[in-house]
Amino acid sequence: MEKIIVFGHKSPDTDSICSSLVMADLQTKLRGEEVIPYRLGELSEETKYVLKYFEIEEPKFIEKIEEGQQVILVDHNEFTQSVDGIENAKIDTVVDHHRINNFTTSEPLFYYAQPVGCTSTLLYELYKLNNIEIAPKMAGLMLSAIISDTLLLKSPTTTEKDKKAVEELAKIANVDINTYGLDMLKAGTNLDKYTVDELIHLDAKKMEKEDIKYVIAQVNTVSIPDVLKRKEKIEQEINKEILAKGLSLFVFVITDIINSNSEAIVLGDRCDAISKTYEIKDNIAIMPGVVSRKKQILPLIEKNI
Ligand code: MN
Ligand code: MN
């Protein structure tokens, strides 16, 4: 593969898919040669809704890359969340809004990061900085990514830049933010169609701190009790995963997108990383006002573990 390729993280969310498609568009225009978007996993129902709405084809799947492949990373930088073979790739560009961890390159690169609510907010900025016109479909993708990552601008990760971008992008894409946004988020909450195995991998991020490996998975719903109907089966599957992957902790966060609360199933030897802050009863931690893995759950675990 000689062409430069762009992708987001494994277990792709709407930001990872939309930002890959948008970044490919932007980079193709900037470079004058085709940059190809890829995905590292199956699309969520939410993301499928977005691509169908704006009539855009899903990116092709890629599992592993060849040594020396030129790549652009969006919405992640940690190698544990990236494509297989990333250690030997030539990382050309990164656009991201996460912490930087386990990341090194052998050559200089373009690295654009800011603590905003969504990668697409930064892509919106890059179009502006480069004076490139935003096509309505690309605006729709960026808008969807921001709505998804910020839960309609309600997550504590939301910044003024995200709000401004959403306002502008909605005009270009010609959609009503609240109507479209809620329909899109709701499309992602139909969890009954997933097997328990699919459910715990749907949006799972693997983290490493020294030699402690843990996973924070998250699903969105309009009814937490509805998801917990399968609690026992979910726990069995998580315990299998802990054994198979040598994990110290698995936190399965179920987020109520209407009321902006979460409950988490917490399993593993290092449950103390959660229980120091939230009481765990029957393997469940109730987390009022918590919706953000990045800003609320991850820092808590990193502090406690
Ligand atoms: Mn993401
Ligand atoms: Mn993101």
Tokens coding 106: 């052998």
132 lies in the same domain as 276: no
pTM, to two decimals: 0.92
Q: Cα 23 to the chain's mean position, in Å?
A: 15
14 CA distance to ligand 1 middle (Å):
7
**Mean pLDDT (whole number) for 21-32:** 98
CA angle 156–81–47, rounded 5-degree value: 60
Q: Give CA–CA dist 151/144, Å, rounded.
A: 10
Element (H, E) at 126: helix 119-129
Statement to judge: residues 46 and 70 lie in one domain? yes
Q: For the chain, what percent of residues have pLDDT higher than 90?
A: 96
Cα of 55 vs centre of ligand 1, distance in Å, is 22
Final residue belonging to a domain, choices 170, 187, 204: 187
Residue 92 has pLDDT above 90, yes or no: yes
Q: Tell me, what CATH number does 104's domain have?
A: 3.90.1640.10
Q: Are 121 and 149 in contact (CB under 8 A)?
A: no
Distance 234 CA to ligand 2 centre (A): 25
CATH code assigned at 259: 3.10.310.20
**Where residue 79 falls among pLDDT bands split at 50, 70, 90?**
very high
Domain finish residue from 130, 159, 187: 187
User: Confidence band (pLDDT; 50, 70, 90) for 1?
Assistant: low
CA of 77 to the centre of ligand 2 (A): 11
Mean pLDDT of the chain: 96
Domain that holds residue 86: 5-187
* Mean pLDDT, rounded, for 138-143: 98
> Do residues 169 and 33 share a domain?
yes
Number of independent structural domains in the chain: 2
pLDDT band at 91 (very low <50, low <70, confident <90, very high): very high
Residues 132, 166: one domain?
A: yes
Per-residue pLDDT, 12: 97
Distance in Å, CA 104 to ligand 1 centroid: 20
Q: CA-to-CA distance for 155 and 79, rounded, in angstroms?
A: 26
In this structure, the answer to whether residues 151 and 242 fall within a common structural domain is no
Residue 214 and residue 176 share a domain? no
Residue 64's pLDDT is what? 97
Instruction: Report pLDDT for 102.
Output: 87
State the pLDDT at residue 30.
97
